[in-house]
Each structure stands twice: as structure tokens, then as C-alpha cells.
Amino acid sequence: MVVQSLIDQGVDTVFGYPGGAVLPIYDEVFQQNSIKHILVRHEQGAVHAAEGYARATGKPGVCLVTSGPGATNAVTGLTDALMDSIPIIVLTGQVPTFMIGSDAFQEADTVGITRPCTKHNWLVKETDALSGTLHEAFHVATSGRPGPVLVDIPKDVQFATGTYSGPKPSASHYQPRVKGDMEEITELVAAIETAKRPIFYTGGGVINSGPGASQLLRELVEATGFPITSTLMGLGAYPASGKHWVGMLGMHGLYEANMAMHDCDLMINIGARFDDRITGRIDAFSPKSKKAHIDIDPSSINKVIKTDIPIVGDVGHVLEDILKVWKSRGRKTNASAVAQWWTKIDEWKAVDCLKFKQEGKTIKPQYALERLEALTKDHDRYICTEVGQHQMWAAQYLGFEDPNRWMTSGGLGTMGYGFPASIGVQMGHPDALVINVAGEASWLMNMQELGTAMQFNLPVKQFILNNERLGMVRQWQELLHGERYSHSWSESLPDFVKLAEAFGAKGILCDDPADLDDAIMEMLNHDGPVLFDCLVEKHENCFPMIPSGKAHNEMLLGEAETQGVIDAKGSVLV
Amino acid sequence: MSALKIKKGSTSHSAYNLRPTFSDVVEKHTLAVLVENEPGVLARVIGLFSGRGYNIESLTVAEVDHQGHLSRITIVTTGTPQVIEQIKTQLGRIVPVHEVHDLTVEGASVERELAMFKVAGQGEKRVEALRLADIFRANVVDSTLESFIFEITGAPEKIDAFADLMRPLGLVEVARTGVAALPRGD
């Protein structure tokens, strides 16, 4: 019944790991050919792989794990998906209903443990309710603001036979509203018509809304000529090569993007949530602007930043209505003022906040990414990352032309996300080039998945910027803790080439800038998983940076005096 | 009516009329939350309050529609207008939550609470307790030679006032149900 429900929901891939309490489902998986099962090496890997698959394909990701430790290992992935609004369905086995509560072997209160880290979860105690619950799970995960859901299925329920019912999404009382309020939309259009210093600030909501939303966004940006910036999660909704792109904003965002956010008079937030990485100091956040906020989740509006024009609805639907109203009112903008605004933005752009000098025999991480970009940008390419400095550099130095091509752990910041995510992406796009830009420390957190990549012949490229440090931790210790580098490096890193070979994969070591291009080409030309160990400058810091507790216009641009820039109040922030 | 059946524009603070009223003044609000009567739904609501650091002054819950499988949770909470707004929208986000009503701003409402007071004492104090109970229309539901149990129903303020009066007269134990509330009219 479980497998039939998955098939009826159009599932073609499941990431999982068997165990005692899910054996009946695994038995069914064995006896069919419609669904591919990818055996991961750790349940956390299964969930991240499902996230990668979901984000790269726009379809929900599905996991199947056992009770107890299987379920608890899934918790990090569930929380990650909740923070980044990724639709995934996790099926967990549970001890039989008559043993629940008896501290049985591999029993855990799975729905209790995962209640705060799922959008919703269910414990199915009756077989007749199973198929309906599974279909409802898909409906909840994918409608409204997407998110992870979990269905806990006791073993006796798996064994029993019951009545199967097919998907009926309209039967659910959960029907979030997707159309925006026309009065508010008209008010926003009026603001667009007169704004002197407007900016679009877009987020992951545009990607979640689907490719149509990105298309409408592009149309609106081109038609109005307004500048556009995006959060980490929103990269690719508007192309990096687009004329109106001013780069990513936020803590490690571009100078021009943050300055424009600070000085704008109309901020149009589309599917972003004013995260603390974006806003910096709240009371100094874009003080002169009127703020519009389009979000499908009413609780995102006015949560952090006071909004003048709140619009609850799906980004795609709202953008369509904005375009319709704006066009019907004569496609007006304050063109001369916007042109002046662009002059100002171009001045900020001229600061060239991402400039760096590649000199000597050590590879700068920025240089490595610049070369990776140059050599891969024409490929059908998907990029994943782990979490840390390399993640920020990847966001800064790689260009994303389309949505669903950038998989990163934004909200939760989960080290160990990228490698399994890349496996999920490759499953969704078998012929594409999938690269995981990693740090060596993050990568090691889920390195066991190399076995998965080998077993299923998934040619994922692991591009490790190896500085032998927890780079971002080290950077904060330098800025904030008097250069006392408490436990932010490893003294026993593996030989990554040999590690790759031990799994039967290919390992490449590169430590010379002169060899870099050839080594990257070697990676691209190898048909199979590659572990690319790129030894980079150990003490490079990630700039630009808005220090904790500071405003957008107080960015640090480079290796200038960084000591003491974070005051006591800022130092308690993360 | 939205999908979540939150009446649009029914109040100046409704979930879909999100004009901000950011102020530092802490207000007390009574929320009526209609939920699917399913296992774990109360844990979800309570978990939301504890997880996000909101206050619960009182909380009552019981099934109100057996056929429709619905329970009503009445929550009295405090917070700045921004926090109250967040509480309502966060509640509305919980999948088995059908409706969220802020009775404090959606027009007049009636609030009632039931309490039981055990008052022990002898002589003049015992007589005085009985006299005051009569004035407050509290019923005696149990009695020994040295104690009474009073049952009293009313707005929370009335019960507070009764408790203040009973304290010097030998109040030993109190049980309160928390607030149940309904909007006035139709």
C-alpha cells in the first residue's frame, strides 16, 4: 500500500536505509520496478539527498528509514528542509502499535521528536488510514509554503491489509491561499510607478513557486528596469548575467547590493523572509524605504521587519497580477529617477568588492572558484555546497542563470549537506554536471556517502577547497576572539586522493595555481565520482562582510583593520 | 473567507490584514483556536508557544464538535501587538488548525472561568467566608466541620477578587479551569 501510494504520487526515486521496523515496506520495494531505491550510508544522507533531489527537480523528495536511530538520524535533514522550505516526505518505520510506549528495541517517539522540525507529521495506527495519510502528506509537503513531513508507520500496520484509496488533494482542509489581495497589489503597483530608488529583493520563495515565477520575475525586472538583488536561497531566479542584477545581498553579500538595500526608497521583497543574515542590525535596516513583502506564509510578514504593503500569496500568482495591473495602468515608472539611481549603484559597483589578487604559489579559494566558473559555466551544471567560507565564495564567484541549479543549506547551515544533496541532484538529472563545492571539514561530515555515489554510479564532482581549517569559525575567532583559534583546525586530515581510491573513486590533488585548469578539466573529463582536493590559502577571510550588529552601510570590504569591529552587543550574535 | 477560514478584515489585527502596529505595550489577548481533534494537536500548539518563547496565561481545551471532529482551544496570552500577531499567524500555519480568532479585538466577547476554593477555618472566619461566598454567588460543593469547598464561575477578574478575599480567611487550595470564551451576538 505504501509503495502504491508513492507510485500514484508520481515518485520515481526513494532514498533510504532499511531496518527491522521497515522490512515489510522494503519487501514490497524489492518486488517492483517503478521506483528506484537509492541505498544511502546514513539516514542523514538520505534526507539531504531527498532535499537535493527536490530542489533540483521541483518535485518532492522521498525517504524511507527505520524506527529509532533511523528516525533520529533524519532529524537534522528534516530541520534543514523546514528552514529552507523544501518539500520532502520521510517515511519511518515504527515498532508495532501494541508495543508503542514499552521502550521496545529501536523505539523512539518519532512524531514527538520530529514535531518541531516538520511542517506536519502523522503516526498511522490504522491500516485503512494509511493511503489517505500518505496522500495528505504529499499534499501538505508541496502546498502553501513547502516543507518536510513525516509519516510514522508501525510494523503491524505495514503487514496488515486494508482498503486503498487514491490521491484526493481537494479533500484536505489544508488549502493555503495563493492569490494576493488586489487592493494591496494595486498599492504596490502605485509605489512602483513613483519609486525613485527601487530594488527587488528576492528569495527562495521565487524558486519554490516554480519556473513560471522566475519567468514572471524576469519579465517584471526587464520591464521596469529596477535593480534586483537576491538572498542566498534565491540565486538563479534572475540570471547572474542579467542587466539588472546587482548580486547577492546579506552578511557576505555584495557591496552594491547591500548599499542599494540601505539607501532604497522602495523595497519589494518577493519570497524572502528578512533573515538575520540579510538584515544585519534591524533598527538600521534600510531606514528610508517603503517595504512591500510578498510571501505565501502570513507569519513571515511583519515577523522581523515592519512591512508597509503586505501581500499574502504565492509569488507566481502575485507577480502575474502585479504585471497585469501595472500594464493596464500604462507601464509607468519614474524612469529619470531610476536612471539616477543606477548611476549611484554603478558607483558602488566600481568599488569591485570581490577583487582579490592571485599571486605566488598558493591557490586562493576565490581563484579556484573563478576558474571552476570559467571552465564549467557552459555545461548543464548544478552546484551544491556545504556550509562555511567556501559556500559564501561559491555564491559570490559562481554565476547562476536559472532556478533550481543551486542547492545549499541556507537557514540551518548544515555542514555535511552538500555531498548527499549532490547525490540527490544527480539522481534527478543523470546526465548533468553536478558539482559540490565543499570545505574539507564539512565534506568529512557525510563522507560515507562516497559508497552511495560509487554503488549507483553517480558521477558527482566533489570540489573541496581544503584550507585545513574550519574557515568561517577561524575567521570569527580572528575577528572576535583575539585570534585564539580554539579547535578550528584538524591535525589529522585524511589523504583525500587515497580516500577516494579506497572507495574506488578518483582522487585529484591540486596545490599549484598553474596546474588548476588542467586538474579541473581532468575532473570534468572523468566519468565517475571525483574527489578534488584543492589545497588553498589557509588564512583567507571571506569578504565583504557585515559584522554582527552592524548595518548594511557598515560593511568590511577586505583585509582592512578588522580588529574590534564587532562590539560587545554584536559579539553575542552568531 | 480564506482557506484557513480566518475572516478577512474581521479585525484590525486579523491574520490577513497585516498592517503593522509595532509598539512596546504588552497586551493581553484571548484567542479561540478551532483545531482538528487528532492526537498531538495540543502538543503542537503548546510546542509553538514554548519553542518561540510566547506566554500562556491560561489554556483550556475540549472537543466541541464530535461529528466534525473539532476541538476548541482557548488561550489567554500576553505580548506586544507584533508578538500577538505572530502568535496568530504561527497558529494559523499549523496544519490541523482550522480557525484562529482573536476575541479581544473581534468585538465584544464573554469570558468565563470555573474555580474551586478550599477554605479552612473556624468561628467568625468560617462565617465570613460563607457570607462572602454568598455575595459572589459561589456554591458550597463540599463541607466538613473545619472547611468548605466553594465553586465559583465568572470572569477571571471576579475569581481573582474572590481569591483575594478568601486568602485571609484560610484559603488552602485552589483549582482553576482557565478561561473559556465566546464572542457576543452572532
All three cell numbers of A22, joined, read: 521497515
- Please report which helix (H) or strand (E) contains residue B120, including its range: strand B109-120
CA distance linking residue A319 with residue A203, whole number of Å:
14
Closest approach of A125 to chain B, Cα-based (Å):
11
- d(CA A98, CA A154) in angstroms, rounded, equals 9
Look at residue B9 and tell me whether its pLDDT is greater than 60: no
Q: Hey, are the CB atoms on A306 and B89 less than 8 Å from each other?
A: no
**B124-178: per-residue pLDDT in tens?**
999 999 999 999 999 999 999 999 999 999 999 999 999 999 999 999 999 999 9
CB contact under 8 A, B82 and A302: yes
> Cβ B89–A301 below 8 Å, yes or no?
yes
Alpha helices (runs of H) in chain B, residue ranges in sequence order: 41-52, 81-93, 124-135, 156-166
- CA–CA separation, A190 and A268 (whole Å): 12
Q: How far apart are CA A132 and CA A4, in angstroms?
A: 12
Q: Between residues 44 and 83 of chain B, which touch chain A (CB distance below 8 Å)?
A: 44, 47, 51, 82
Average pLDDT, chain B: 89
Which residues of A carry out catalysis? 43, 105-106, 155, 472
| Count of pairs with CB atoms under 8 A, one residue in A, one in B | 60
3-state helix, strand, coil in chain B (%, to 5): 25, 35, 35
Give helix A43-57 / helix A75-83 axis angle, nearest 10°.
30
In B, which residues are within 8 Å of A116 by CB distance? 47, 51
Nearest-Cα distance to chain B for A571, in Å, is 22
Chain B's closest residue to A313, CA to CA, is B16
Residue of chain A whose Cα is closest to the Cα of B97: A174
Location of C-alpha cell 548544478: A382
Instruction: State the amino acid at position A230 in one-letter form.
Output: S
Quick check: A306 contacting B, CB < 8 Å?
yes
Chain B: give the shortest CA distance to residue A192, in Å. Answer: 19
The values of phi and psi at residue B30, to 5°, are: -110, 120
CA-to-CA dists, residue A178 to A168, A355, B81, angstroms: 19, 42, 26
Q: Which three cell numbers stand for residue A352?
A: 569591485
Residue of chain B nearest A307, judged by CA positions: B20
A459, A523 contact by CB (below 8 A): no
Query: Which residues of chain A are within 8 Å of residue B44 when distances are taken between CB atoms?
Result: 115
3-state secondary structure A33-50: CCCEEEECCCHHHHHHHH
Q: Is B40 on the interface with A (CB under 8 A)?
A: yes
Return d(Cα A58, Cα A213) in angstroms, integer: 13
Inform me whether the pLDDT recorded for B12 exceeds 70. no
Q: What is the pLDDT of residues A64-82, one digit of tens each?
A: 999 999 999 999 999 999 9
- Tell the residue number behind the cell numbers 479585525, with chain if given: B11
**Closest to A299 (Cβ–Cβ): which among B22, B86, B98?**
B86
Residue B81: asked if its preceding bond is cis (omega within 30°), the reply is no
Contacts of A515 (CB under 8 A, 6+ apart): none
Contact A115 B16 (CB under 8 A): no
ipTM rounded to 2 decimals: 0.88
- H or E stretch at A341: helix A335-350
Q: Does A109 touch chain B (CB under 8 A)?
A: no
Residue B31 contacts residue B103 (beta carbons within 8 Å): yes
- Among residues A41, A103, A102, A99, the alpha carbon closest in space to that of A73 is found at A41
Does the pLDDT value for residue B16 go beyond 90? no
User: Chain B within 8 Å of A554 (Cβ-Cβ)?
Assistant: no
User: CA-CA distance, A184 to A292, in Å (whole number)?
Assistant: 9
Distance from C-alpha of B78 to C-alpha of A149, rounded to nearest angstrom:
31
Report residue A483 as a C-alpha cell: 585570534
Half-sphere exposure for A518 (CA within 13 Å, toward CB): 7
Place of cell 547590493: A257
Residue of A nearest to B47 (CA): A116
- pLDDT higher than threshold 60 for residue B8: no
A306 neighbourhood in chain B, CB within 8 Å: 20, 22
Nearest CA in chain B to A310: B18
CA distance A415 to A569: 27
Provide CB contacts within 8 A for B177, sequence distance 6+. B60, B113, B114, B115
Judge contact between A529 and A506, C-beta under 8 A: yes
**Residue whose entry in the numeric block shows the C-alpha cell 478550599:** B118
Residue of A nearest to B9 (CA): A181
Determine contact, residues B166/B132, Cβ cutoff 8 Å: yes
Sign of CA dihedral A539, A541, A542, A548: positive
Of A116, A302, A303, Cβ closest to residue B51: A116
d(CA A519, CA A393): 20
A463, β-bridge pairs: A437, A532
Q: Do A310 and B19 touch (CB under 8 A)?
A: yes
Residues of B within 8 A of A112 (CB-CB) are 40, 43
B139 touches chain A (CB under 8 A): no
- Contact between chains at A140 and B15 (C-beta distance less than 8 A): no
Find the radius of gyration of the CA atoms of chain B: 19
pLDDT at position A568, please?
A: 67
C-alpha cell, A565: 569591529
Question: Which amino acid is present at A287?
Answer: P
Question: Which chain A residues contact residue B85 at CB under 8 A?
Answer: 302
Q: Which residues of A touch B47 (CB under 8 A)?
A: 115-116
CA–CA gap between residue B171 and residue A508 (Å, rounded) = 79
* A115 in reach of chain B (CB within 8 A): yes
φ, ψ (nearest 5 deg) of residue A148: -85, 140
A523, A525, A526, A529 alpha-carbon torsion, rounded to 10°: 50
Sequence-distant (6+) residues with CB within 8 A of A426 are A382, A432, A434, A453, A458, A459, A460
Percent helix, strand, coil in chain A (nearest 5)?
45, 15, 40
**For A173, which of B44, B86, B98 is closest by C-beta distance?**
B98
| Interchain CB distance below 8 Å, A298 and B36 | no
d(CA B35, CA A185): 31
Backbone angles phi, psi at B98, to 5 degrees: -90, -45
Q: Answer yes or no: do B16 and A312 touch at CB < 8 A.
A: yes
In chain B the first and final C-alpha atoms are separated, in Å, by 17
Cell numbers for A50, please give them: 531527498
Angle ∠(A221,A315,B17) on CA atoms, nearest 5: 115
Q: How far is A517 from chain B (nearest CA, A)?
A: 49
Residues in chain A with CB shorter than 8 Å from the CB of B16 are 177, 181, 298, 312
What pLDDT sits at residue A560?
Answer: 57
Chosen for mutation from B93, B98, B99, B100 (greatest number of chain A CBs closer than 10 Å) is B93
3-class DSSP assignment, residue A489: strand
| Among A154, A77, A76, A89, CA closest to A120 | A89
What pLDDT is attached to residue B185? 87
Chain A CB within 8 Å of residue B18 CB:
yes
Residues 425-464 of A with CB under 8 A from B: none
Question: In A264-334, which ranges are continuous DSSP H helix?
Answer: 276-279, 315-328
Cα A527 to Cα A426: distance, rounded to the nearest angstrom: 13
User: CA nearest B44 in A: which residue?
Assistant: A115
Cβ contacts of residue B34 below 8 Å, gap of 6+? B64, B70, B71, B72, B73, B97, B98, B99, B100, B101
pLDDT given at position A128: 94
pLDDT above 60 (res B13): no
pLDDT at residue B4 above 50? no
pLDDT (tens digit, 9 = 90+) per residue, A79-129? 999 999 999 999 999 999 999 999 999 999 999 999 999 999 999 999 999
Count other Cβ atoms within 10 Å, centred on residue A455.
14
> What pLDDT does B148 receive?
97
C-alpha distances (whole Å) from A150 to each of A12, A87, A135, A221, A443 are 18, 11, 12, 38, 27
Selecting from A116, A140, A145 the residue whose C-beta is nearest the C-beta of B47 gives A116
At B6, the pLDDT band (50, 70, 90 cuts) reads: very low
| Nearest beta carbon to residue A120 from set B19, B43, B95 | B95
Are the beta carbons of B92 and A298 separated by less than 8 Å? Answer: yes
B20 touches chain A (CB under 8 A): yes
Residue recorded with cell 535593480: A227
Beta-carbon contacts of A103 under 8 Å, excluding residues fewer than 6 positions away, are none
> Is the whole model's pTM more than 0.90, yes or no?
yes
**Interface contact B185, partner A, CB < 8 A:** no
Q: Which residues, 6+ apart, have CB-to-CB distance to A385 below 8 Å?
A: A391, A394, A395, A407, A408, A409, A417, A418, A436, A437, A438
Give the distance, in angstroms, between the CA of residue A361 and the centroid of all CA atoms in the same chain.
34
Cβ distance of A115 and B44 shorter than 8 Å? yes
What residues of chain A score a pLDDT lower than 70? 559-566, 568, 574
